[in-house]
Structure 1
Amino acid sequence: MTNELHPYQDRKKLKWNGFYLSEHTSQLAAEKKERRYTWPAKPTMTTEEIGQLLTEARIKDQSVALQKEEMDAEGHYPPDVIGKIQGYDELGIYIAGEKIHYDEIRSVALHKTKKWSALD
């Protein structure tokens, strides 16, 4: 008479599904909230003001927040392009791997990145 116990069978990923689901749903909710947010129109700057700020950012190696002069089908502005100036030519500048023509720029501001260690 042999009385064998059943060996333990690991459920593998099945036991972690609850964690994936809650993280995934919170990420989806955050993305939905971001899509729903409408970026306000910033005041249109003159070419000279834009040039001065871009020059200052390039010299001081600072990041800029740039609003493009474009709207989506619903009449909303896209999020600002944020980053350091990676390069430039006579037609535009390169920020965050994207070339933006000078005539597409609506507004520019120096952008201060918050440190991860800064507490609010």
Structure 2
Amino acid sequence: MNNQDFDLDTVKHIFEHVYHDRGMVKWQGFYLSDHTAALNQQKQQLNEVYIKQPQQSLVVITQMLADAYQRQQPVTIQLKMVDQNNHHLPDIITLIHGYNANDIVIDADRLIPLQEIRNVADKKTEKL
């Protein structure tokens, strides 16, 4: 079969009036159980509502962060930021790798401004 055997008007008619592309429906069979489990877990995490911790003073926050930095102990940090549904973002559990007058350094040189921190809890004394 070569290009001369095709009538372009017939092909155009088939694609416009006969053939129906099912879009993403045809791909749904390719999801593995591991993929669907991971997607369900991700959806559940996004729907979790994190408990709003009390606002700590800047003095308490800096004292707890300095102590955690000195002892190289992980802390749980809750930021002031909220998502579009007015829910707090997930708490950050991390080691403090450094600090300056306005920021702390966590996870691979990520800076968090002290003014954005709502609450800091010592990981070992935190209730499970």
On whether the aligned pair clears a TM of 0.5, the verdict is yes
Q: 1-side partners of 2:93 and 2:68: how far apart?
A: 12
Does 1:48 find its partner at 2:63? no
Question: In the alignment, residue 67 of structure 1 is paired with which amino acid?
Answer: Q
TM-score between the two structures when normalised by the length of structure 1 = 0.73
Does 1:93 find its partner at 2:104? yes
> Which whole-Å deviations, capped at 9, do the CAs of 1:61-112 have from their partners, x for residues lacking one?
1011101111111101100122111111111101123211111110001124
TM-score between the two structures when normalised by the length of structure 2 = 0.68
Q: 2-side partners of 1:96 and 1:79: how far apart?
A: 15
Identify, as 1 or 2, the structure richer in helix.
Answer: 2
Could you say which residue in structure 1 is the equivalent of 2:32?
21
> Which whole-Å deviations, capped at 9, do the CAs of 1:30-89 have from their partners, x for residues lacking one?
101000101111011111211221111011110111011111111011001221111111
How many corresponding residue pairs?
94
8 Å CA contact 2:104, 2:111 repeated in 1: yes
The RMSD of aligned alpha carbons is: 1.6
Larger Rg: 2
Show structure 1 runs of 4+ deviating over 2 A: none
Q: Which runs of 5+ in 2 are unaligned?
A: 1-28
